[in-house]
Every structure is written in C-alpha cells, then in structure tokens.
Structure 1
Amino acid sequence: MNISRYLKNIDSLIAAIIGFYVIYLYTKYSGVGISPDSVMYASTATNIQAHGTLLTFNKTPITFFPVFYPFFLGVIQFFSRIDPITAGAVINQFLFAAVIFTSGWIMSKFLSHSIIYKWLILAAIILSPGLLEIYTFLWSETLFTLEILFFIIAYAHYLKTRSIKSLVWVGVISAISCITRYAGVTIIGTGCLMLLLDNQLILKKRVLYIFLYGCISISLLVANLVLNRLSTGLSTGTREPSITPFFQNLYYCGTVFCDWGSLSKATYPFAALITSIILLALIGILIFKTIKGQINRYENVVIAFALVYGLFIVISASISRYERINSRLLSPMFIPLLIACTSWVPDVLKLIQAKAARYVLSGVAVILMLAFEYASYQTDWQRYDDESDYGVPGYSDDSWNKSEFVVYLKQHKNLFKPGVPIYTDANEAVYLFTGMSSELLPHKFFKADVQKFYANKHFYLIWFDNLYNTELVGLPDILKNKKLTKIGAAKEGEIYLCDEK
C-alpha cells in the first residue's frame, strides 16, 4: 500500500478543519448571517421540502434567483428536519472546509508543485475577508464557489482522457452551476474557451466538443428560464437597465481588488487601471500558453475562469442593473484570481540557476505573502471583534434581534385584519420575524407598479425607519398621495393604515 498517496493532502485536510472552526467562531454568537436574499432562499427551501413547490415566503415563484441552491437547502432540511436558517452556520462550515480542501487538491496537481506555495495559498484562503464574508451568510455563492472548483477538477480530468464521458461530466457540473447562480454561464464560457484553445484537437473535433459541451451545460438553465417564463411571464424576474457605465464598473471592480490585496484607499484612484491590467495580463498569459503549446494544464483552467468571470461581471453590470460591484459579487473569482496571480512564482524561481539568488528571491516572495496574510488577519480580527459582540450583520444581528420595533411587531400581529394587503419597505424582515406575508413597496422605476399601488384604497404600511432604499417609493411620497393613520409605533418603525372611502 502506498501510504504517501493518502497522506499527500493531509495538509489540505488540516487547513479545511481550521476553516471549519473559523466559520464556527464567526457565527457562534447569532448564527448564520441573514440578508433579504437569504430569506428568499430559506423560505423557498422550506416550501420545496414541505410542499414540493418553488414558491418564496410571499407565495410567488422564485425567478430572480435560480432554483438549485434552495433545492440544495431543501434536501438538507428534508434529511435533518432543521430549517436552513438554523442549520445555515453548520452548512457553511462544511462548504468552506470543502472549498479549502478542494483548493489544496487542485494545487497539488500543478506541474511545478511547491509545498510552501500550497501552504501559503491555503492560509490566504482561510484568512480571506471576502470569503469569510460570504461563508458567514446564507448565500448561494457558498455553494457556487465549490462548484467552480469541481468544474476545474473535472475539466483537468477530461484533459487526461479527452473522452466523451469525461466531457459530459464537465457539462453536468457546468449545468448545475448555472442553476445555482445565473453567473454560472461563466463556467460554460470557460469550458468553451479552453476547448477552443486546445491545440491537441483538430478544429473539427473542437467544434463538435464545444457543441456537445454547450448543449449539456445550458440545458438546466434553459429549463429553469422556461419554467420561470411559464410561471410569471419573466425569465429572470424584473431587471432594470444599468446606471453605471463600463469604466465606472472597472473602477468598482478595482476597489474590490485593492481591498482583497490589503491595499490602502489611496490606491482607489488607480482602481480602473488595476482592473484593466489584471484582465489584460490574464489574456496575455492564456495567449502565451496557447502559443507555447502549454494551455492544457490545471492552472490554465483556473486562469481562464478568473478572466471570464471578471469580464462577465464588469460587462453585465454595464448592461443590467443590480447591486454595485462589491466583494460578494466578485467572491467566486477570489481563489482563481489568487492562484492566477501567484502560480507563476514557483515556476520562475525554479528557472534561476544561482542557488543564493533563488533562496533570496524565494524568501522575499514568502515575506510578501506573509505580510499580505497578516494584513488580512487584522481585517478579520476587527470584524470578529465586532461580530462576537453584535452578531453577523443583517437580520441576525442585535440591531434587528433586539429592535424595539421588531419586538412590537411580534407582539401586535392582531393589528392586522385578514384580507387587507400589507405593504412594507422590508417584506423579508416582516416574514422572518412575524411569519406574516407582505408586499414590497414598488420600485420607482416601474411606473405601472407605482400607479397600481396608489390605486389601493385599503392597506397597511409597515415602515422601518432604519432602512432607506431610495429605489423604492418612500414614506414621504406616500404621505403626499395617500391619507395614512398611524395605528402603532415603536422606536425605529411605525405601522400605518390607509382606509379611503
């Protein structure tokens, strides 16, 4: 028996256990972080488990998000009999541990493998503020990031065999990722790009493989979009056009890269340039590897995904309007980008003939990496110090759990008569804390929805003072158009009744 075969990734296992414990530390005070998206995922999972329906808490089909992450949570709920919000912290502990171990597995397959490099990258993953943020929340990025790594492993296995069977498995993983997050199309793009650059296949076979892989990869997404269309008339929910141009999105993307690199805010003016340099460098690396006939390697699949995902986020944010580019949106790119920016270092160091120079430069590289990780640790410690006292930001922290208005809502649900619609600026919070269904106030952009709202003559309004979403119809606007009577209030919120004859 070759024992070394089984001990080869013992370091990855140890790192995974550390990551498991780190997520426990962050979530032990108040549990997993809950955002509006989290409530949508968890409520849909509960409906899948209990009724076999793809409905959210407000009894409408889930269309803004694809279906697999709620399904994943629903399966866990079915077997554990524990709702996703309660089980979320443990789920994320296992997912983060799996991401760390899988990353170590991938790095052990690199052509120029360096054990010190592997340890440094594993430490950087554990300490990454961006990854720790998403793995302390009930978000689909937690599962999607692991699927990206599975895709990389599956594609690398395909490169060994180039069999139809192995390519089909790559397609299956890609298909599942697309119904975990719509951004899963970047995995399809990565697979197609790598197949196109594969110089060991004749052009005709490349085209055939791309067609086969593409059809398998997109199948579940098409089915999800068709289901959404049949259910609501919309494929991906209501989407507004972008209000941020391409250059501005380059800038926002660059500010995230600066934060990931533990750079000061003084570098923000160069953020767009930093993004451009990174993306152009990734393009240059792939072109160079293709020309040299070295494209079919583990690390190049990682580099290709970092490039495709980065371009997708910047371009799509310039077309469709969603939250400003931030660390959460870019988080699936962190590990591939980290590897893409560092995997060449061991290769270059091995080319240096003089031992003294090689040792000196290796020491400098290690010191720089340790400095980066120490800066990440300081950020992590500050966040832990805050969250150990108040909880993970969102609906699970003390600002919500100990809110006087939330307590008031729980105790005065009898104020609401059955059959009368309830509007609010935070319908997920109303459901989470009271179990009541309510409708979100309309977005100002959708004029027809605003007119429909104002046409209502009889409704309740639950208003949270600590929220201020400028995209929604606000309380001052409503008071100008409707006569409201305050029927309840506490610190940080009020309840109004509109009863027009």
Structure 2
Amino acid sequence: MYLKRYLNNLDSLIAAIIGFYVIYLFTAYSGVGISPDSIMYASTATNIQAHGTLITFNKGPLVFFPVFYPFFLAIIQFITRVDPIEAGAMINASLFAAVIFTSGWIMEKFISHSRIYKWLILIAIILSPGLLEIYTFLWSETLFIFEILLFIIAYWKYLQTHSTNALISVAAITAVSCITRYAGVTVVGAGGLMLLLDNKLTVKKKISHILIFGFVSVSLLVGNLILNRINSGLSTGTRYPSVTPFIDNLYYFGTVICDWGSLSKTAYPFAPVITSAVLLALTGILLWKAFKGRINSYENIVIAFAVVYGLFIVISASISRYERINSRLLSPMFIPLLISCTSWVPDVLILIKSKAKYVLAAVAILLMLAFEYSTVLTDYQRYDDERDYGVPGYSDDDWNKSEFIVYLKNHKNLFKPGIPIYTDADEAVYLFTRMSSTVIPHKEPKADVQKFYAQKQFYLIWFTNLYNTELISLPDIMKNKKLVKIGAAKEGEIYYCDGK
C-alpha cells in the first residue's frame, strides 16, 4: 500500500525536480532577486542568528512584517553558516519543489482522479510566470504558499476523523502562516468557513471546534502583535487609509487574472466583471456543495481558501493602503484558483457516457496546452533577459555594475561618525556598503517632514535613477536646507548639510 502511494506520486517528484532546476536557471547569473523587503528579511534573520534580536538593518524593530520568515531564514543561516541572500536561490528552489510536489500530492486525492489532469496542472504550476517571479525573489510568499498547501492537506486529514488532535494540527499550521504573512488570517478564515459549512459536525461539536481552531490559530499572531506594540508602539507598523476605491481594486484584481490566463490586454476593460464572476461563481459552488452535503473534499478546501483570500485582498486594499493589487499580492491564490477553475472538468467528463466525452476531453487538453505554450513564451522572454542581466532588483547589473555603488563602497570615509545619513534608498546603502542610514520622509504626514528639516547636520545619499514620488524630492530638500555636494558618480550624488 505504501509503495503504491509513493509510486502514485513519482510524477509529482519528477515535476518537483524540474521546478527546482527551473529556479536554478533563472537565478544562475546573479543569485536570488533582492528587493527592499528582501533586505528587511535577510538583515533581521542575520540579527536573530547572531544576537537573538528582531532588529532590521536600520536598527529598528521588525514591525511591518511578521516574524516567522526571518526566523526561518535565521535557522537556515545557523545550520549552513551562509548569509540568506547568498543561500536564497537554493532556499527558493527547494521551496518551489516542495510546492510542486505537495500540489501533486493533493491532486492525487481528488474525487475524480485524472492522471492527465494532474500532469497538466503540474506543468502549469512549473511554468506560471507569477510563481516564477515569486520564487526568484527572497520574499515571504515563497514559504507562505507552501504553508497554505500544508494547511489544505492537514484539513483534509481532519475531515477523515474530525478529531480534536487533527484539528489542533490544522490550527498549528494556520498559526505559523499568520506570522509568516499577516494575510495568513485568510487561512484562519478558510478553516472557519469550512467548519461552519461542515454538515458532519453536530452543533455542539461545531461550536467547540470553531472556538478551538480560532483560539489556537490566532495565538501566535496575537503574540506577534503584542510584541510589536511593546517594541514600537504600533501593532503592524504605520498604515495609511486606502487611496484606491473598491471598483478600482476589482479592476486590478481582474487584470492579474487576465495576465495569469494569458489573455490580451484587450480584456482589461472587463476586469471588474471577471473578478466579480470568478469570486461569485466559486462562492456559489462552495455553498451549493455545502447544501448538497458534499463539502468534505480536497477540492472544496481549495475553493474555500481561494474565495476567502480573493475577498480579503479586494476588501483590505479598499480600506488600507499598500502596493497596488498585483501578481505578487495574489500569488498565494494562484494554485488554489487554478485548481478551483479546472477541477470540475474531470468530474463532468465522467458523467458523460457517450463517445462525445473523448472529443470534449481532447478539446480541454488542447486548450490547456495552448495556455501553457503561451506561458512558455512569456517565461522564455524573461529568462532571455535575466540570464544576461540578472533578476530585476538589487541583484541585477543596473545595481551590481553601477558606478555610484562602486564609488560608495570606495568612499565610505566621507562619512564622519555620529552624523546621521539620509537617503532615498536605505536598503541599497545597507546591502552594498553595510552602512546604516535612514530613508528620507514621505510627503505625508507633514510632521515627519518638519522633523527632518529640523536636523542641523546630516549626509544625504541620493540615487538619481530612483523615482519614488511618495518621498520628498531633492529640489524640495534644497529649498529648505543648504546642501554641499561632497561626492558624485554616474547615477548618484552625496551631499552634506552643514547646519543651515
């Protein structure tokens, strides 16, 4: 029996190995992609490993992000003695392989199992431009997506027994996901929704299991938020009200779905309708299956998460300001959405008794292959760029071969100890020079701007190739402070404020 189980997942193992190699290819030139978030994670991991402190590169406590992903990197750094940025490519390749294998394991348990369907979905996961972007950067989504799949497996095991021990296992995985990304609350929501719809539970047991699951699953998150409040006075860092209304977020969500589905930009005007149709359809399917008493299956756990995550992103983006809805924000939803939108095909084909089902099956396979061919073209174009210039971000040649970066590294003696350093890219300063600096304030709130202008002496490192319109500009600073240029190279300048 055990041998058969492992043989059934041999195809998943092969797909996982291919996925590992694909990430290796994309990161072979310059290593894992590095963004400002990546530097936050890596620097905190280094401080955890070296000093046992949750301090970032800028000497402040880690608040804007939860603690587990840096802790995960710190464990790897402790074991391997390799900096997370250097080890990032192998970490991500391993996590991507784990995601692929786990996805195959889940599909092996579907009610209407189809080997061809499983292969096509595994290929789609390996080729997904959205996932390849995530797994070529040092981002917490790489671990979070894997945790979502572990939650799905654990919840299915709970459905087999409805035991308290199995429920606590589900809740423990959920708790860790909540301190990997704050969006882990969607895993809490998906688990709570499935418990609420479960017709196999008595009312008394349903209430007790919802309370147990809810308490355990949010316990680590509550602890993380309390720690943040103690360290900084803020639970999740400074958050601003949203500037994008609900209808705009429906549009941005829909454009991501269009890109994932390899639709042309001519479909963008219909993006709000596409978003609404997808979320309403999946919600309707889940409620219909609950009404029919067929809620307890892998497919429905997947659908539940897709619905909760999709609604969470659209609603939260309409309340709180963060980066515009994009492929990265929605990436944890890609595999659940892909499965939710396609898992019904084998079910329908089984119900068809005539030979027409073979024709329909062939059409479905051809459509899937056409979709995957279009993603291959997208992937190849990106690979063609990245094998010559590196993964976009601080890993690519625009930064690694920047004359100003070389100048900064060779002229650190320009900065006298005790005088603060400001910059429009504090992460870049830390990554390439290991000097500590402070990012210049945003235009809002005005109090932060006035506090900055009250500084008597400071250095200013200005990267001229960056265009962050949310920060105060160099001309604005020059209007308010007397700056003396003390160094420069192509793409950057160094100024000193002498107290005026």
What's the TM-score once normalised by structure 2's chain length?
Answer: 0.99
Partner AA of 1:195 in structure 2: L
Query: Percent identity over the alignment?
Result: 76
Residue of structure 1 equivalent to 2:69: 69
Residue of structure 1 equivalent to 2:427: 428
Q: Any stretches of 5+ residues in structure 2 without a counterpart?
A: none
Query: Matches of residues 71-470 of structure 1 in structure 2 within 5 Å?
Result: 71-355=71-355, 357-470=356-469
Partner AA of 1:253 in structure 2: F
Partner AA of 1:262 in structure 2: S
Cα deviation for residue 159 of structure 1 reads: 0.1
| Distance in 2 (alpha carbons) for counterparts of 1:380 and 1:121 | 17
Partner AA of 2:257 in structure 1: F
User: SS in structure 1 opposite 2:422?
Assistant: strand
4+ aligned runs moved over 4 Å, structure 1 = none
Cα deviation for residue 2 of structure 1 reads: 5.7
User: SS in structure 2 opposite 1:485?
Assistant: strand
Could you say if the C-alpha distance between residues 234 and 24 of structure 1 is closer, same or farther in structure 2, counting changes exceeding 3 Å? same
User: SS in structure 1 opposite 2:119?
Assistant: helix
User: SS in structure 2 opposite 1:54?
Assistant: coil
| Distance in 2 (alpha carbons) for counterparts of 1:444 and 1:169 | 46
User: SS in structure 1 opposite 2:409?
Assistant: helix
Q: Any stretches of 5+ residues in structure 1 without a counterpart?
A: none
Cα deviation for residue 305 of structure 1 reads: 0.2
What whole-Å deviation, never above 9, does each CA across 1:13-34 have from its counterpart, x for those lacking one?
Answer: 0000000000000000000000
What whole-Å deviation, never above 9, does each CA across 1:343-365 have from its counterpart, x for those lacking one?
Answer: 0000001111102x000000000
Partner AA of 2:85 in structure 1: I
| Distance in 1 (alpha carbons) for counterparts of 2:381 and 2:357 | 36
| 1:476 aligned onto 2:486 | no
| Distance in 2 (alpha carbons) for counterparts of 1:203 and 1:465 | 63
Cα deviation for residue 157 of structure 1 reads: 0.2
| Distance in 1 (alpha carbons) for counterparts of 2:393 and 2:406 | 16
Could you say if the C-alpha distance between residues 181 and 2 of structure 1 is closer, same or farther in structure 2, counting changes exceeding 3 Å? closer
| Distance in 1 (alpha carbons) for counterparts of 2:123 and 2:224 | 37
Cα deviation for residue 375 of structure 1 reads: 0.5
What whole-Å deviation, never above 9, does each CA across 1:306-344 have from its counterpart, x for those lacking one?
Answer: 000000001010011011000000000000000000000
User: SS in structure 1 opposite 2:486?
Assistant: strand
Partner AA of 2:120 in structure 1: L
| Distance in 2 (alpha carbons) for counterparts of 1:24 and 1:3 | 30
Partner AA of 1:73 in structure 2: L
Cα deviation for residue 291 of structure 1 reads: 1.1
| Distance in 2 (alpha carbons) for counterparts of 1:353 and 1:69 | 50
| Distance in 1 (alpha carbons) for counterparts of 2:411 and 2:287 | 64
User: SS in structure 2 opposite 1:201?
Assistant: coil
| Distance in 1 (alpha carbons) for counterparts of 2:416 and 2:321 | 37
| Distance in 2 (alpha carbons) for counterparts of 1:193 and 1:258 | 28
| Distance in 2 (alpha carbons) for counterparts of 1:278 and 1:82 | 43
Deviates more, 1:464-473 or 1:339-348: 464-473
- Note the aligned Cα RMSD (angstroms): 0.7
Partner AA of 1:136 in structure 2: T
| Distance in 2 (alpha carbons) for counterparts of 1:192 and 1:5 | 30
Partner AA of 2:473 in structure 1: G
Deviates more, 1:204-213 or 1:268-277: 204-213
Cα deviation for residue 476 of structure 1 reads: 1.3
| Distance in 2 (alpha carbons) for counterparts of 1:293 and 1:121 | 27
Partner AA of 1:465 in structure 2: T
| Distance in 2 (alpha carbons) for counterparts of 1:175 and 1:252 | 29
| Distance in 2 (alpha carbons) for counterparts of 1:181 and 1:275 | 23
What whole-Å deviation, never above 9, does each CA across 1:91-121 have from its counterpart, x for those lacking one?
Answer: 0010000000000000000010000000000
Partner AA of 1:446 in structure 2: P
Aligned length: 500
